[in-house]
Amino acid sequence: MNELLTYAGMVLMLIGGIFLFLGGLGIFRMPDTYNRLQAGTKATTLGGMSVILSIGLLEPSWFVKTLVLVIFIALSNPISSHALARANYKRGNRPYLKGGSEYDQYKEVYDPQEKPDKEEEKA
Amino acid sequence: MEKSSSGGKVTRFLFTWFLLFVVWLMFTSTFATQEVITGAAVSWLIAIPTNRFFTNVRLHHFSPLTLFYIVEYLFIFLWALLVANLDVARRVISPTLPINPGIVKFKTSLTSDFAKMILANSITLTPGTLSVDIIDDTFYIHWIDVKSLEPEECRQEIAGKFEKVLLKIF
C-alpha cells in the first residue's frame, strides 16, 4: 500500500514537472503578454497542484495540508493572472492580433482616442 | 437580501468562523483537545473583525442539493483544467504556433459577485481563455483562438457549461 502511494506520487510529480516545463516553453514561444499569461497560468496551476499533491502522497501524514495548499493555488492563481492582464492593458500594452482590430473588443473601455471619433460620427 | 438584518450578520460570522476553523484543523491535522480549543478560539477572534470583508454568503439557501451541484461543478472544473493544459501543450509544441488571439466580450446572467468571481476564475483555467476584466455583468475575455465575435456565441462557447451549474448553486 505504501509502495503504491510512493509510485503514484512519483508519477504525479513527473506529470506536474512535464506540465511546468511546457508552461515555461509557452512563456518563451508566445508572442505577447496575454498569450504568455495563458500558457503560464494553466501550466503552473495544474503543474503546481500535481507536484504538491505528489508530495502529499509520498509523505501521507502531510496529505491534508497539501490539499489545503492545492485549494489555495486553485483560488489565487487565476486571480493573479487576471490582475496582471488587466494592469497590462491599462498600462497601454495592446494584445497581439492576427485578425485585425475588431478582434480586440476590450478597446472600447480604455482607448481614449476611440471615444471622440464615435461622437463625431453621431454628430 | 436584507443586508442589515441581524440574522444575516450572525450566519455570515458563523460561516467565516467555520471556514477558518476547518482550515486550522486541516493544517494541524490533529484532533488533540488543546489544538481544537486553541483553533476555535483563534478563528473566533479573527472572524470578529474580518467577517464583513470576507464574504456575503448566507447559509439560508443552503441545501443538500446545493452540495451535489458543488461537487458536480468541481468535476466539470477539474476536467476543464486538464483539457486546458493539454490544449496549451499542443499549441506550444506544434511548430507553427496555431493561435488567433483576441479579446471578446459577453454578458452573464449571474447576479452575485461571488458567483461572478467563481465564473471568472473558472474561465481563466479553461481551454484557451483568460478573463481580463468584469464591468458590471460584462466579461472581457482574452481568447487564444477566437472562433466568434458575437457575444451570445462567445458566452455559449466559453461559459455555457459553468454558468448552467452556477445558476443552480446561487
The predicted pLDDT at position A25 comes to: 87
Q: How far away is chain A from the Cα of B1, in angstroms, using its nearest Cα?
A: 26
- Which of B76-83's residues contact partners 24+ apart within 8 Å by CB, and which partners? B76/B161, B76/B162, B76/B165, B77/B122, B77/B125, B77/B162, B80/B122, B80/B125, B80/B126, B80/B127, B81/A42, B81/A45, B81/A46, B81/B125, B81/B126, B82/A46, B83/B126, B83/B127
CB A45 within 8 A of CB B109: no
| Cα(A15)–Cα(B163) distance, integer angstroms | 30
In a domain, B80, yes or no: yes
Read off the C-alpha cell for B75: 468535476
ipTM of the complex, rounded to two decimals: 0.73
Picking from A22, A118, A38, the residue whose alpha carbon sits closest to that of residue A77 is: A38
CA distance B48 to B169: 27
Average pLDDT of adjacent 10-residue blocks, chain A of 123 residues:
85 90 86 83 87 89 87 87 86 74 70 51 47
What per-residue confidence (pLDDT) applies to A51? 92
Nearest CA in chain A to B130: A38
A chain contacts of residue B113, beta-carbon cutoff 8 Å: none
A82 touches chain B (CB under 8 A): yes
Predicted pLDDT of residue B90: 84
Q: Into how many domains does chain B fold? A: 2
* Spans in chain B with pLDDT lower than 70: 1-8, 55-62, 170
Spatial CA neighbour of A23 closest among B121, B88, B142, B97: B88
Q: Report yes or no: B61 and B67 within 8 Å, Cβ to Cβ.
A: no
Q: What is the sign of the dihedral through the CA atoms of A86, B155, B110 and B123? A: negative
Q: B59 lies in a domain?
A: no
Place of cell 479579446: B103
pLDDT at residue B170, rounded to an integer: 67
Which of B85, B124, B128 is facing A46, going by the closest CB pair? B85
Q: Which domain holds residue B112?
A: 64-169
Q: Which of B27, B85, B99 sits opposite A43 (nearest CB)?
A: B85
Per-domain residue ranges of chain A: 2-95
For chain B, the residues whose C-beta falls within 8 A of a C-beta of chain A are 23, 26-27, 29, 81-82, 84-85, 88-89, 91-93, 97, 99-105, 120-122, 124-125, 128-133, 135, 140, 142, 144, 146, 149
Residue B1's pLDDT is what?
40
Asked whether the beta carbons of A78 and B120 are under 8 A apart, the reply is: yes
- Establish, for the pair of chains A and B, how many residue pairs have beta carbons separated by less than 8 Å: 134
Residues B70 and A65: their CA atoms lie apart, in Å, by 22
Question: Does residue B114 share a domain with residue B41?
Answer: no
